[in-house]
Amino acid sequence: MADRPIAENAMATCLWFDRQAEEAARFYCELFPDSELGTIERAPGDYPGGSKGDVITVDFTVFGRPFLALNGGAQTEFTDAVSFQVFTDTQEETDCYWNALLADGGEPMMCSWVKDRFGVRWQIVPRVLMHGLGHDDADARERVFAAMGEMQKIDHTRIEAAICGE
């Protein structure tokens, strides 16, 4: 990412923070693979709500996708209207991401959703859940959907059991 400025990408996702842009970008880059911190832009002078040297933007990649973290002020908050899906292969991977996103003030939500300490919404989605929800057998799909509806963090074993009708 450092070799390719964010503006050279065809598209990037901009995340609006109050003053935690650098902290959030560093956290996401440490947590997820194929992630890298890029350029940190600082204010060249004082401005309404900030001072010379304050972080304005941070470009970074998560799972190889470009993001820009913007310290835009407290007037805007994240909502459930946008979330990031992270697909997992094992319970250990699901637990790792889920627990890290919950740490330091995150909140669990139903059906694989979690709000991190910055207010960003994530869905930690096991591939076995997606397999079950798209299963050829309508009864299996119904059982998986019902099991998911009872969970916050998805339990791979329970989803596998629902697929099998156990």
Judge if 93 and 155 occupy the same domain: yes
46 by DSSP, 3-state: which? coil
Q: What single DSSP character describes residue 119?
A: S
Domain boundary residue among 37, 71, 105?
71
Owning domain of residue 88 = 83-164
Tell which wins on pLDDT, 1 or 16: 16
pTM for the model stands at: 0.90
Taking only the tens place, the pLDDT of each residue in 99-158 is 999 999 999 999 999 999 999 999 999 999 999 999 999 999 999 999 999 999 999 999
Quote the number of domains for the chain: 2
Give the relative orientation of helices 91-102 and 21-31 as an angle to the nearest 10 degrees: 160
What CATH number did the domain enclosing 45 receive?
3.10.180.10
- Backbone torsion region of residue 14, taken as left when φ is above 0, otherwise alpha when ψ lies between -120 and 50, otherwise beta: beta
Last residue of a domain, one of 71, 92, 109: 71
Q: pLDDT by residue (tens digit) across 153-163? A: 999 999 999 99
**Distances from the Cα of 91 to the Cα of 35, 81, 98, angstroms:** 22, 27, 10
Residues 34, 103: Cα–Cα separation, whole Å: 22
Distance CA 111, CA 109 (A): 7
The identity of residue 143, as a single letter, is R
